[in-house]
Copies of this chain bind each other. A is one copy, B any other.
Amino acid sequence: MNIGQASATSGVSAKMIRYYEDIGLMPKAGRTEAGYRVYTAADVNTLRFIRRARDLGMPIERIRLLVSLWQDRARSSGDVKRIALEHVSELRTKIAELTAMCEALEGLAHACHGDHRPDCPILEDLEAGGQQAPARVRRRRRIDAGQSQPGATA
C-alpha cells in the first residue's frame, strides 16, 4: 500500500504520516526500490489509533506512551488508565480556564448596551485591568483618567 492509500484508509494526511515517521511515532516504513513508502494493514491500524488519540486532544508525547503500551502485551491497564486520567485532568483544567474567560467576557458584554455610543464597559474593563468588581460595572470611576487617555500614545 502506498502512502496515499494509507492516508485515505486511516484518515491521516500523507504529510502527517511522514511527520510521524520522522519523529519516531510511527516505525520507519518499508520502501519500494524507487523509494516509495510501503504500508501494511497493521500500519494503518496504528495510524488510526494515533488519529483517534489526536481526536481526543492528546499531544504526540502522550500518544507515544499509549502506542508503546498498546503494543506491549505485558502492559498493565492501570498504566493506560493513569495516562488517560492525566489527560482528562489537563482537559478539565483547560476547560476551566476557557470557561472563566468566557464568563468574564459574557458579563462584560452583558453590561455593554451595544449601540452607537462610544461608552463601553468592555473597553473600560480592559483598560482598568479587570480590577473592578464584575457586578454593577455601572460606576466607572475614571481610574487614572489623566494618563489612560487612549490615543495619547506618542
The CA-CA distance from A153 to B47 in the complex, in Å, is: 11
CB-CB under 8 A from A48, the residues of chain B are 127, 129
- Of the four ranges (under 10, 10 to 19, 20 to 34, 35 or more), the interface on chain A belongs to 35 or more
In the complex, A82 has a CB within 8 A of chain B: yes
Residues of chain B lying within 8 A (CB to CB) of residue A120? 75, 77, 80-81
Task: Give the residue name and chain of the B residue nearest to A124 (CB).
Answer: B70
Instruction: List the number of copies, as a whole number.
Output: 2
Whether a CB of chain B sits under 8 angstroms from the CB of A1 is no
Q: Mark A2-42, 1 if CB is under 8 A from B, else 0.
A: 00000000000000000000000001001000000000111
Tell me if A106 and B88 are in contact (CB < 8 A). Answer: yes
Interface residues in A56-89 (C-beta closer than 8 Å to B): 56-57, 66, 69-78, 80-82, 84-85, 87-88
Q: Given A101-B57, A148-B42: A71 and B153 within 8 A (CB)?
A: yes
Q: Which residue of B lies closest to A69 (CB)?
A: B123
Interface residues of A (CB under 8 A from B): 27, 30, 40-43, 45-46, 48-49, 51-53, 55-57, 66, 69-78, 80-82, 84-85, 87-88, 91-92, 94-95, 97-99, 101-102, 104-106, 108-109, 112-120, 122-123, 125-127, 129-130, 144, 147-154
Known pairs A72-B151, A74-B118, A75-B118 / 6 extra A-B pairs, C-beta < 8 Å: A42-B153, A52-B130, A70-B127, A71-B153, A73-B151, A80-B123
